[in-house]
Amino acid sequence: MPEIILGSLVICLLLSPQLLAGFLAKRTGRNFWFWFFISFLIPIISIIILIFLEDKNPAVQSYKLADRLEKDKQIE
């Protein structure tokens, strides 16, 4: 039983750069699986590249007020 726990821990540690690259790519609007597999070839370099790449996600929109609040705002 301890071998299974130790094996699972080792696999998680070995996959951590790939998972980090995948989640970082997803957060910046890129393909998770592409960067996950690229990170197998160049693990640390791919993470550094992702940190410096421009974010592809659209700018955060401001919240729209509810209709009744906008009417109250126009009355003032």
Tens of pLDDT, residues 37-58: 999 999 889 999 999 998 887 7
Q: Which amino acid is at 63?
A: Y
Predicted confidence at residue 65, as pLDDT, reads 57
- What domain range includes position 45? 2-75
Q: Which amino acid is at 3?
A: E
Is the pTM here over 0.85, yes or no? Answer: no
Helical H segments across the chain, by residue range: 2-27, 32-41, 43-52, 67-75
How many domains are there within the chain? Answer: 1
pLDDT top residue among 60 and 20? 20
Question: What pLDDT digit, counting tens, does each position of 3-44 carry?
Answer: 889 999 988 888 899 999 999 999 989 999 999 999 999 988
- The closest alpha carbon to 15, from 45, 31, 39, 32, belongs to 39
Predicted confidence at residue 76, as pLDDT, reads 56
